[in-house]
Amino acid sequence: MTIAAREIHLKSRPTGVPGPENFEFTERVLPVPAEGQLLVRTLWMSVDPYMRGRMVDRPSYIEPFQVGQPLEGDAVSVVEQSRDDRFKPGDFVKHFYGWRERVVIDAATATKVDPAIAPLQAWLGPLGVPGLTAYAGLVHVAKLKEGDTVFVSAAAGAVGSMAVQIAKIKGARVIGSVGSDDKARWVRDELGADAVINYRTAGDLAKALAEAAPEGIDVYFDNVGGDHLDAALAVANRYARFAICGMIAQYNDETPPPGPRNLAALIVKRIAMQGYIILDYPDLTNETREMAGWLAEGRIKSRDTVVEGLENAPKAFIGLFSGDNTGKMLVRLAEG
């Protein structure tokens, strides 16, 4: 029996904020799985800001998407057919072939996920790239210490909401910045941030940050860049550490914006600023275990913004750039 599956391709490279016209729906007749392969059905897929970078044809840490080819990204699926002894139908797996209803993949590219440890979608959130990116950025890059004051931008997003909570668990004072009052309430009242700035209404961000951190910041966890990085440089303490995780404020710019005006603060304050990619940390087994423990104990709270159906995946992705999500933006393709 032949199986056809819908998938989403890159139709054209976006200029500025992506639109529905940049995506194309097609249907593919799937091959029968060969020895060592699996047929999997996607239940959950992740949309992530870094995918915007892959829509541009330029060298980076990961290959650009190709026009006319399917998009890629993390997904959780159920195995429907297996030609590999390690997997059987009904197993749940995580893989990198999202944006498709069903796909035939090499079993070597799939990792089993255990719904007894955490709900399936958590493997795309706290126990997936967002959670581990937050963990690695704070602990391994910024060398977070108990008593540090930490500033986290995009604090109500997938990575930011994890960074806020991990920093609190590790004994830091935490200030978040977010784009709405509802998000501010969630980050302060539910996630435990000590202060939250709504950057859309705060006016002068550096002034608002200085008020929220009267003794300065020791760590900046940057998800945004731009004016947030300026503000963090202005308010940083001597020997502050900046983990540069992302700069979403400029992902849709055609030309790079001017750099921070106050970069000389790096010298005056001996600030260490390091960019990193989660791929630099291939083995975070212990960190994943620790996160799973915190999740089970309720010390880490996770929230998802769920968009239903593959047909709405482009909308979910585009919504990341206007703050449509609180917590992790996910697309549910089928019930698990």
Ligand X SMILES: NC(=O)c1ccc[n+]([C@@H]2O[C@H](COP(=O)([O-])OP(=O)(O)OC[C@H]3O[C@@H](n4cnc5c(N)ncnc54)[C@H](OP(=O)(O)O)[C@@H]3O)[C@@H](O)[C@H]2O)c1
- In the bound state with ligand X, the residue whose beta carbon lies nearer, of 88 and 261, is 261
Q: Could you give the string, one character per residue 305-334, with x where binding to ligand X holds by CB under 6 A and - elsewhere? A: ---------------xx-x-x---x-----
CB 119 within 8 A of CB 128: no
* Site membership for ligand X, residue 216 (CB under 6 A): no
Of 34-42, 82-90, 128-136, 189-197: span binding ligand X (CB under 6 A): 128-136
Our finding on whether 48 is near ligand X (CB under 6 A) is: yes
Those residues whose C-beta lies under 8 Å from the C-beta of residue 222, and which sit 6 or more positions away, are 153, 228, 229, 232, 242, 243, 244, 245, 246, 247
Measured between alpha carbons, how far is 196 from 173 in angstroms, rounded to an integer? 11
224, 313, 316, 333: which one binds ligand X (CB under 6 A): 224
Q: Which of residues 67-126 bind ligand X (CB under 6 A)?
A: none
Q: Which of residues 157-176 bind ligand X (CB under 6 A)?
A: 157-160
- Is residue 192 a contact point for ligand X (CB under 6 A)? no
Report, in Å, the least distance between residue 88 CB and ligand X.
32
Smallest separation, CB 247 to ligand X (Å): 6
Q: Is 133 in the site for ligand X (CB under 6 A)?
A: yes
Q: Supply the minimum distance, in Å, between the C-beta of residue 82 and ligand X.
A: 30
Tokens of 301: 């709270």
Residues 242-281 that bind ligand X (CB under 6 A): 245-249, 276-278
Q: Which residues contact 263 (CB under 8 A, 6 or more apart)?
A: 233
- CA–CA distance, 324 with 171 (Å, rounded to integer): 30
Q: Residue 295, SS3?
A: helix
E-only strand ranges, 133-224: 149-152, 173-178, 195-198, 217-222
CB of 187 to ligand X, least distance (A): 9
Per CB under 6 A, which of residues 3..42 are in contact with ligand X?
Answer: none
Please answer whether residues 166 and 136 qualify as being in contact, where contact means their C-beta atoms are separated by less than 8 angstroms: no
Q: Does 302 bind ligand X (CB under 6 A)?
A: no
The C-alpha angle with vertex 111 and arms to 290 and 26, in degrees rounded to 5, equals 125
Residue 117 vs residues 69, 75, 247, 289, 328: alpha-carbon distances, Å: 35, 17, 32, 10, 19
Task: Tell me if 250 sits within 8 A of 229, measured CB to CB.
Answer: no
Q: Considering the complex, state which of residue 107 and residue 178 has its C-beta at the smaller distance from ligand X.
A: 178
Q: Which stretch binds ligand X (CB under 6 A): 99-107, 149-157, 187-195, 296-304?
A: 149-157
State the residues that interact with ligand X by CB under 6 A. 48-50, 129-130, 133, 154, 156-160, 178-180, 183, 223-224, 245-249, 276-278, 320-321, 323, 325, 329
